[in-house]
Amino acid sequence: MAEYRKITRITKAENASDGAGVAIQRLIGFYEKNEYDPFLLLDYFGSDKESQYISGFPWHPHRGIETVTFMIKGSVEHGDSMGNKGLLKSGDVQWMTAGSGIIHQEMPQYSPEGNFGFQLWVNLPKSHKMMPPRYQDVPAETIPEIMTSDGTKVRVIAGGFQGTTGPVRDIICDPLYLYVEVPANSEFEMDLKIGHTFFIAVSDGTGFFDTDDGVKSVKALSLVLFGDGDKVKVTTKDEKLSFIAISGKPLKEPVAWRGPIVMNTEEELMTAFREYRDGTFIK
């Protein structure tokens, strides 16, 4: 018998600034370290005002994590210490594994329609903290889109939905990453792996989710963390709903985190920052 997941926590986005002054709305990453294990941080960046995004995220290091950028609208130019360069456009995804260390920059480009998207940080287990860096750049046209019978659109970025598997592969935390658009007056259900952390981040509209004491409405920009179970149900009323749905296998390891570097111990953190200062960070 199916066990539907129920809400354990609803978090509203908090205004913040990152990089060289980019305005963001932070959904995960203010206070928690293990509550969303293996996920560490989730930011929504969205503005049609050039001054709020154009300064971007100049050169900075990462070690011990993966960063996942999903562009809903607009474009971001990126480059790194390995010589990679590229442009993420509307609908594109980049899954970057920093591993042993990478120095990169992400610079939003001017667009009359603005720049909107999500960036997620995924922790790496101790066994893979120092793996070689790599990228999975995923153009929008390679991401499969499924249309359900009631008109819900599901873009499958990682993991599987109704027999369709996303193009992002071989990720340690066995992730599910979907972008879902549910029309008004509809119901959407999906299967989940028991024991995996699961949350939904609402980017637009209002959704209704089960709790132990009834149903709660959730508006953009809010994050819904769920308890365990093998299914989740979302309903809409008189307005449509857009959200990302993300799950992954918890690491259950200690977290030592400072800025863009995440390790297991304070000693490992000190080593990483010393190597960055000494110019031996890149392996």
Q: Is the dihedral of CA 48, 51, 53, 54 positive or negative?
A: positive
CATH code assigned to 7-278: 2.60.120.10
**For position 31, what pLDDT does the model report?**
66
- Determine the pLDDT at residue 33: 66
Q: What is the pTM of this model?
A: 0.96
Per-residue pLDDT of the chain (283 residues; tens, 9 = 90+): 789 999 999 999 999 999 999 999 999 997 666 899 999 999 999 899 999 999 999 999 999 999 999 999 999 999 988 888 899 999 999 999 999 999 999 999 999 999 999 999 999 999 999 999 999 999 999 999 999 988 999 999 999 999 999 999 999 999 999 999 999 999 999 999 999 999 999 999 999 998 877 789 999 999 999 999 999 999 999 999 999 999 999 999 999 999 999 999 999 999 999 999 999 999 8
pLDDT, one tens digit per residue, over 246-264 is 999 999 999 999 999 999 9
Q: What's 35's DSSP letter?
A: T
Question: 10 Å Cβ neighbour count for 178?
Answer: 21
User: What's the CA gap between 106 and 117, in Å, rounded?
Assistant: 13
- 106/104 Cα distance (integer angstroms): 7
DSSP, collapsed to helix, strand or coil, labels residue 22 as strand
User: Can you tell me the distance from the alpha carbon of 63 to that of 89, in angstroms, rounded to the nearest whole number?
Assistant: 25
Compute the distance between CA of residue 233 and CA of residue 188 in angstroms, rounded to an integer: 6
CA pair distance 201, 35, nearest whole angstrom? 15
Residue 179 near residue 244, CB atoms below 8 Å: yes
In terms of Cβ atoms closer than 10 Å to its own Cβ (0-12, 13-18, 19+), residue 49 is exposed
Structure tokens that stand for 37 in this block: 């294990």
Residue spans per domain, the chain: 7-278
Rounded CA-CA distance 184/22 in Å is 33
